[in-house]
Structure formats: structure tokens, C-alpha cells
Amino acid sequence: MVETALLTDSTTVMPKDLIEGRDVTVIPVPIYAGGKEYREGVDITPEEFHFMLETLKERPSTAVPGLGEFASYYERLLQTHRNIVYPLASYRLSGLLNAAVQAAKQVRDAKIVVIDPPQDWEEELYIVHSGDPRTEEQLVEVGRLTDPIIAVMNTDYASGAAGLIAIEAINAIHEGRHIDEIVRRMIDAKRRTGIYLILNTLEYVVDRVGELRALLGTLLRIKPVLTLRHGYLEDVAKVRGERKAETKMIELVKQKVGDGRIDAYVLHTLAPDRAEAFLEQVKTELNIRNSWIDDAGASIARYTGRGGLGIAFTQVPNQ
């Protein structure tokens, strides 16, 4: 029996062969659109999501599953595993972290570990902060806990960047690592991970940039390059034209990793041909170990719109 189960949700993007081949459980996140509730990856396609994003007066929004639904996933997984790890999207983008922890409290005898919660977190749980000088002491404490353990991680990312951290977790799980080592590997992967995104339109970030700036940016073909930093979506560059924006993303990755090897995840929103061409460019200019292409998912698509492009990456540690 595999000791630890990996739980994710649809805001985290992972290669489908890994999900199916390594028994990863995915919670489909609710999407509300046109007065109806859908489940991402179950009864709404990316094409349908974008159609509603473009045509509905009230734009689609992602939501959080109910606590009972979360708890049922935990309880089912703990019937066949001793522990659960659940890396999830930044708490600054979603309410998933709080809901996941509150649901874990409903699981009898569960010890709840929370990695990188808000600094003002008041829960009396087992807390691990990846930037804390006492991180190793906190991990030792996690290693002493008795089963069952539910470890929930704020990745500070979403989409494929959170997926790269999840990949590190599933690799550690299938190496037979104890849960404290799995958590350590996730924290280390988080420190080596980044993401850059190109907005195809400013229409869906009007609240952030203002209507006039959005209009001017569209007229001038300005392509903002965004990143997730400490869980916040931030502008890091503004360039004119798609090609220059793609080149800028590669330059930004190079600034982070130099000549180091990376695992790269090219993400797109209904632009597979563009993503394929971009990955070929990435392979010629960066030192790639593993690479994948995938749809970015609704959590990113609601900002980028149709035709968005991005790259998530994790630097491979020196052996």
C-alpha cells in the first residue's frame, strides 16, 4: 500500500498521464456562470468557459467546494492510505486553503499540518513556514506525528506552477518517503518554482488597471507579462506585441535560473499551436529536462482570456 495519497483540485494543472498513472485524486472546483454551477474538467470545457467569459454580462467565477465534500475526499482516501498531502492554490487567489483545513478538522483523529498559511493564522494546528529559521524543527515535529496526517500546503501559485510542486510530491510518495520528507520536498520545490504569463487582452483585469489604461493598452498592442509573487498576481514587464512578450518571458526565466536545468510547463488558453511553437523556442534557449503543454485552467484563464500563454518552471537541484 502507498502510505501517502496526493490530493489536488482543478485549479492545479498536472500532466494527465501522471494523474492517471500515479493515482492522483483531483477535486473538481465549482464554476458559477449564467446562474448555473459547473464542475471544472467535468461538465464544462475550456471552450465553453471562454465563450461564457466573452459573452455573459456577469463573468464566470470559480468557487470553493463545500466542507462536507472536502471531508468525504479525505475520509475516502484515508481508507486506503495513512496520510494525505494536498498542495493547493495561493490563499490570496482562492478560499481553498481555509476550506481544506476546516474540512480536515471534521476527520476523526486527523493531525492537520498547514504549510505556509497567512502569518496571522490563529489555528492551533501544526504549522510549517518555509521561510522560517525553524523550518527544520517544524518538520521534525511533523515526522513525530502519528497517522492519520492531512498536510495542506499553500503553494502561493496556481495552475501549472502548483502542478510542478505536486509532481515533486508524487515523486516523493512513490519513492516511499515519509510524510515529513514529502513536505520537505514540496517546500524545496516551491523555492525553485516560478511562473510568467502573457495577457492576450486587458479586458479581464480592468479592475486592476482601470478602463482607460486597458483601452490604451489594447490599442497600442501592449502585452503585460505577469507573475505570481508571494501569491499575488503582479506585472513584471510591458512589451508591444506577442513575439516580444514571449521572448521577454524566456529572458525572465533565464534571469532566475541562468544555465541551470529546469522542468518547464507551457500553459495556454485555447492556443495549442502557439504553445507548441513557444515550447520549441523554449527548448532552444533554456536547459530543459522535462517539458509539458497544457490548458492553463479557469483560475488563470479568467485573467488572460482566450489566447493567453505562460510558462511555469522548476529549477532542477544540483545532484
CATH number, residue 277: 3.30.1180.10
Distance CA 158, CA 171 (A): 19
Distance CA 149, CA 269 (A): 36
User: Residue 174: pLDDT band by 50, 70, 90 thresholds?
Assistant: very high
Residue 160 and residue 24 in one domain:
yes
Query: Quick one: CA dihedral 243, 248, 249, 253, positive or negative?
Result: positive
Cα 62–Cα 234–Cα 261 angle in degrees, nearest 5:
100
Residue 219 and residue 99 in one domain:
no
Last residue of a domain, one of 191, 224, 251: 191
Mean pLDDT for the stretch of residues 289-316: 92
Mean pLDDT for the stretch of residues 184-200: 94
What are the Cα distances from residue 148, in Å, to 72, 82, 136? 15, 5, 21
Any idea what the CATH number is for the domain that residue 9 is in?
A: 3.40.50.10440
Mean pLDDT for the stretch of residues 156-179: 97
Residue 93 and residue 183 in one domain:
yes
Mean pLDDT for the stretch of residues 60-74: 93
Residue 169 and residue 273 in one domain:
no
Of 202 and 179, the structure prediction assigns the larger pLDDT to: 179
Q: Which residues does residue 88 pair with via DSSP β-bridges, in sequence order?
A: 154
Q: Is the peptide bond before 148 cis (omega within 30 degrees of 0)?
A: yes
Residue 76 and residue 215 in one domain:
no
Residue 174 and residue 201 in one domain:
no
In-domain check, residue 36 = no
In-domain check, residue 227 = yes
User: What pLDDT does 140 receive?
Assistant: 96
Domain that holds residue 79: 4-29+64-191
Task: Specify the pTM.
Answer: 0.93
User: What percentage of residues in the chain have a pLDDT greater than 70?
Assistant: 92
User: What pLDDT does 241 receive?
Assistant: 84
Mean pLDDT for the stretch of residues 84-112: 95
- Taking only the tens place, the pLDDT of each residue in 251-260 is 999 999 999 9
Angle 179-191/159-174 helices, nearest 10 degrees? 150
Indicate whether 217 pLDDT > 50.
no
In-domain check, residue 82 = yes
Residue 141 and residue 212 in one domain:
no
In-domain check, residue 304 = yes
User: What pLDDT does 276 receive?
Assistant: 97
Per the prediction, the chain carries an average pLDDT of 90
User: What pLDDT does 66 receive?
Assistant: 94
Indicate whether 193 pLDDT > 70.
yes
Distance CA 138, CA 158 (A): 25
Mean pLDDT for the stretch of residues 28-53: 92
Q: Which of 90, 38, 80, 26 is nearest to 63 (CA)?
A: 38
How distant is the alpha carbon of residue 297 from its chain centre?
Answer: 10
In-domain check, residue 55 = no
Distance CA 163, CA 265 (A): 9
Of 123 and 282, the structure prediction assigns the larger pLDDT to: 282
- Taking only the tens place, the pLDDT of each residue in 231-281 is 888 888 888 888 999 999 999 999 999 999 999 999 999 999 999 999 999
In-domain check, residue 73 = yes
Last residue of a domain, one of 162, 191, 220: 191
Residue 129 and residue 239 in one domain:
no
Residue 132 and residue 262 in one domain:
no
Burial class (CB in 10 A: 0-12, 13-18, 19+), 313: buried
Residue 281 and residue 180 in one domain:
no
User: What pLDDT does 213 receive?
Assistant: 42
Residue 186 and residue 216 in one domain:
no
Joined grid coordinates for residue 190: 516551491
Last residue of a domain, one of 152, 175, 191: 191
Mean pLDDT for the stretch of residues 215-233: 70
Distance CA 2, CA 5 (A): 7
Residue 135 and residue 85 in one domain:
yes
What are the Cα distances from residue 264, in Å, to 135, 160, 163, 299? 27, 9, 11, 19
In-domain check, residue 42 = no
In-domain check, residue 46 = no
Q: What domain count does the chain have?
A: 2
How many Cβ atoms sit within 10 Å of the Cβ of residue 123? 13
Of 297 and 241, the structure prediction assigns the larger pLDDT to: 297
